[in-house]
Amino acid sequence: MNQREEHALIALAAAARRNAHAPYSGFPVGAAVVADDDRAFFGCNVENASLGLTLCAERAAIAAAVASGARRIGAVVVVTGSDKPPWPCGACLQWLAEFGDARTLVIAASVSGMVRRAELRDLIKEPFELMSTPCAGQG
């Protein structure tokens, strides 16, 4: 991903962040993903009073990509208001492992301009993989 593409993806995630529904945490998050066919998709966090039902921005963006037919994610950008932007949570990393690969680019950016970059393999060492089991393919 070149610098122009990265800036465009950060801007898309920042715009999605403005639509976040975060009345409980006060921590709006926006995300954008790029599919392997270069289409971009975005999402924001959507909190719920039953906090376990909250949808993270990264998973919202991935779901939008999948709903549009994308099956592989090459990069994700997450934008927060933190001075040092956090990496995606474990659940989001697992979703990225499902639709990306070890070299999927993960960018954490702040609205103040700090940008951190890593490959997925540096953030989740051994993602869960459903191996062939006696029940696989049944039901």
Query: Has residue 91 been placed in a domain?
Result: yes
Please state the domain count of the chain: 1
* pTM across the whole model: 0.92
Query: Has residue 35 been placed in a domain?
Result: yes
SS3 (DSSP) at 108: strand
| Residues that are catalytic | 58
Query: Has residue 64 been placed in a domain?
Result: yes
pLDDT in tens, 8-27: 999 999 999 999 999 999 99
72: domain CATH number is 3.40.140.10
Q: What is the pLDDT of residue 132?
A: 59
Query: Has residue 88 been placed in a domain?
Result: yes
Q: What is the secondary structure of 14-56 as a DSSP string?
A: HHHHTT-B-TTT----EEEEEETTS-EEEEE-B--SSGGG-B-
Query: Has residue 135 been placed in a domain?
Result: no
Q: CA 98 to CA 76: how far, in whole Å?
A: 13
Query: Has residue 136 been placed in a domain?
Result: no
SS3 (DSSP) at 102: coil
Residues in the chain where the model's pLDDT stays below 50: none
Domain residue limits at 47: 3-123
